[in-house]
Chains A and B, each alone.
Chain A
Amino acid sequence: MASTKDRKVVEMNTFAGLRKLPLWSWIWFILGLLYFVLPLYGTLDFSLRMQRDVIGLKAYHMAFADKAFWQTFGYSFFLATMTIIVSICLIVPTAYWIRLRLPEARRIVEFITLLPFVIPAIVLVFGLIRLFSSPITLPVAGIVLLPPLTNTVFGTNVLMVAGYMVLGLPYIYRSVDLGMRTVDVRTLTEAAESLGANWYTIILTVILPNIRASLLSGALLIFAIVVGEVVLASFLGIKTFGPYLLLLGQQRSYEPAALSFTTFLMTWAAMGIIQKISGGQGHVAGAH
């Protein structure tokens, strides 16, 4: 009983001198808090002042009344959902397989999943657009293997989802891999196998439910990335939420503030959920 008590006691008194007067700590904290809060307050304040001398939600009404808002946001939502689904379908089996059967592939796969950190989003988008806006041909006979993806709506959607998947790759992979490590999928699998389950059943009924917390946090991060993303969409000429907000900012002043504040609340909600379910460190993402 006492070793924990001892430690607690010690912790309380370690910096007794400082504890008496953590003045500087408070100063830094308040400074940081101001930095954090003031721009948000500014946005909120601004967004409520659309009508002269009246505090009101008019900017929000106007912003939400715009059909284009719902269209672009809906589109972003659709793309985010697709990205999350395809990412999970690709990453969960891969991470599972590596953990179980192919540990020697871990280093290379981890390296690849970290590449999007090294390759800035704009560079990646540049490469993707250049590569897939012209037909991909077999070098010898000139046979067209793949027509330009950007020529069709479907192809563009595929390219968008693929691009978002790449941008989200480091986060979803780390999240899933960590989840599998903490629940020890190997033992779970062996237990399920000994009960006669096959691979398909194991993944669906044993693995997925056990890593749902990490899946959810990975999914929310992808959602945050996709909804805020500007680069890929605007260069492909797709009307998602990011470019819409950017354009709106050039034309109007109050509605963008209202939408920015709304976006912030969504980010807050997403991160809040992630914090809640992971209980640990926040992740880092975003379309900076």
Chain B
Amino acid sequence: MAFLVINKVNKAFGKTIAVQDFNLELQKGEFVSFLGPSGCGKTTTLRMVAGFETPTSGRVVINGEDITNKPPNQRDVGMVFQSYALFPNMTVAGNVGYGLRIAKKPVNEIKKRVDNMLDLTHMSEFGDRYPYQLSGGQQQRVALARALALSPQILLLDEPLSALDAKLRVSLRSEIRAIQQELGISAIYVTHDQEEALSISDRVVVMNNGAIEQVGSPFEVYNFPQTSFVANFIGTLNTFSAEIIDPEQCTLKVGDQTLAVVHDLSAKQRGEYVSIAIRPERINFASADQNNNLLEGSIKSVTFLGSIVRVLITCGDNMLCMDIFNNPYLELPKTGQHVQVACPREAVLVLDK
């Protein structure tokens, strides 16, 4: 049995349904992110694992023990809040050691454990400081140390990096991941930042409107989104409505141009419309010998973004976004230029809904 089981969990606040039919199994040592827009129920789900909310129905089981109705102070889970939630009246060491003091551990054991945790989070020099004397990033390190001090069975992180600036976010997230892997602890990480979720997780749970849209490795949810919500929420995407020309040959018509896909369309009818999606980095200028899966249009704008160059192409009624890698010897395409672009057949995704 999995280490953490969230089974058929529903949560309603009055008439609002916050989470519906949430099922997830988490292995020991696994790092899972809940990703979705704010209000999608990811935080509520996390709070049900922590015990701050009780599910309306369903069960939460950790390590074989049903904890659905256990009060939060008996759950043995570590928590890190977005707002750090450090106790302002205690020093850094006091904060980290608070749980151990509540558990009535011997003083020297507390001290040793606190030192260990501060070492782990590179905060050893700050043990005597008060939270107001620390920067946001430092405070979050302390909050992490505090959550880990009790060696919880599972670590819950509720948008821990959202209040920090971009650079710090990137460095701290890899640190969190490294610590998690070092300790081999299971973790749930709530975020609305797709890049964060993709870079840090073993698996990503994409949520929308209280329900799970897709669960999979970062690679899977990015490359093979199952729903248009996932496709649109993660990364930049071109989506078109396309008319099926031939279900057997898997050919579609976008505007008056034809595309072929690898998706099995045999269940569909000719003339039916489907949503298709193409990642901008999968599109390229067509070379002379290519005559498959071509789209034509004129360049509307060219934006230099550093490592990539983003080209917007007016393609019939649609707008096509194409990313090409930067290259100092590359001649940037010109606005108004008429171009032909190609995308491989397998790059065109047909979305289920």
Residues of A whose CB lies within 8 Å of any CB of B are: 1-3, 5-6, 9-10, 12-13, 16
Contact = CB atoms under 8 A, between A and B. Distances in A.
Nearest to A14: B52
B13 A2 contact: no
A13 B52 contact: yes
Contacts of B52: 13
B39 A5 contact: yes
14 contacts: A1-B38, A1-B39, A2-B38, A2-B40, A3-B39, A6-B39, A9-B13, A9-B18, A9-B44, A10-B47, A12-B13, A13-B13, A13-B52, A16-B54
Contacts of B54: 16
Interface in B289-311: none
Main SS at interface, chain A: helix
A1 B18 CA distance: 13
Contacts of A1: 38-39
A198 B37 CA distance: 52
A13 B39 contact: no
Contacts of B18: 9
Nearest to B36: A2
A12 B53 CA distance: 11
A13 B53 contact: yes
Interface string B18-45: 1000000000000000000111100110
Contacts of B40: 2
Nearest to A4: B39
Interface in B34-68: 37-40, 43-44, 47, 52-54
Interface in B95-139: none
A13 B204 CA distance: 28
A9 B17 CA distance: 11
B36 to A, nearest CB: 10
A3 B47 CA distance: 15
A2 B53 contact: no
B74 interface: no
B16 interface: yes
Contacts of B43: 6
A13 B38 CA distance: 18
Given A9-B44, A12-B13, A3 B38 contact: yes
Which 7 pairs show the lowest CB-CB distances between chains A and B? A2-B39, A2-B38, A3-B38, A9-B13, A5-B39, A1-B39, A6-B39
B13 A6 contact: no
Contacts of B16: 5, 9
A6 B53 contact: no
Contacts of B39: 1-3, 5-6
Interface in B147-186: none
Nearest to B71: A17
A2 B37 CA distance: 8
Contacts of B47: 10
A6 B82 CA distance: 14
A5 B44 CA distance: 11
Nearest to A2: B39
A238 B54 CA distance: 68
Nearest to A8: B13
A20 to B, nearest CB: 12
B24 to A, nearest CB: 20
A6 B43 CA distance: 8
A29 to B, nearest CB: 24
Given A3-B38, A6-B43, A9-B16, 11 more contacts: A1-B38, A1-B39, A2-B38, A2-B39, A2-B40, A6-B44, A9-B18, A10-B47, A12-B13, A13-B13, A13-B52
Contacts of A2: 37-40
